[in-house]
Amino acid sequence: TWNVKLRLRKKAQDLRFFDVRLNPSTIECGGSVLLSFELVNLGRDQEEQVKFSVENSDLNIAIRQNTIVLDEDPDDNSVAKSYRIQIPKDIPAGTYPIELKAFFRSTILDDLQKVNLQVTCGTQSIVQRNQTQPVQNVPKVTPQINQTVQKDVKQPTAITITQAPNMLVYLVAGNVLLLVIVILLAARYLTRTE
């Protein structure tokens, strides 16, 4: 049989989101989804000023809850939440990231999770949120440059370890030191055996 002792070092503050889910994860404009998650205190300290937020400005989501107490004891260190979110009817189709943030001491961000909601609205064009969109009807401007710029580009040169300045000196000194240590150890061994 084996006896194994594990010593775990926990951070003092360690808030985490688990089981973040959207049901359904794809929805029609004007529909509603259920967002559910669990917020867990994995830290070694009791947290008396836990705050979380759920946000997406495009979907008009701004959920905030303050003053949650999460114990360090595994029997009382989590809170499960679920929210019914109504999707606007006039929103463009696309993928919308919903951000969940957990704070300790009400202001210090400790965990950030994102869950994507896919919104479909009939035949409307699909927009990917929080990404750069191509700009159309922008006239092409070509700058006129009347001077030539010439750059000197140096090719990198490879230097072997023996060509580097001082490196050869360090190698020789290291070998001499190693040789002296071996001689001293051999002399000590020989004097003990006599």
Q: What is the pLDDT of residues 45-90, one digit of tens each?
A: 777 888 999 999 999 999 998 878 888 777 778 889 999 999 999 9
Q: Which of 11-20, 80-89, 105-114, 166-175 has the highest mean pLDDT?
A: 80-89
What is the pLDDT at residue 161? 52
What is the pLDDT at residue 18? 93
What is the pLDDT at residue 145? 38
Residue 73: both structure tokens together: 């004891």
What is the pLDDT at residue 83? 95
Residue 111 has pLDDT above 60, yes or no: yes
Average pLDDT of the residues of the chain = 77
Q: Which long-range contacts (CB under 8 A, 24 or more apart) does 7-11 make?
A: 10/42, 10/43, 10/44, 11/42, 11/43, 11/44
Residue 135 has pLDDT above 70, yes or no: no
Q: What is the CATH number of domain 15-128?
A: 2.60.40.10
pLDDT over 90 percentage in the chain: 37
How far is CA 165 from each of CA 98, 154, 168, rounded to the nearest angstrom?
Answer: 57, 20, 7
Contact by Cβ (8 Å): 95, 82: no
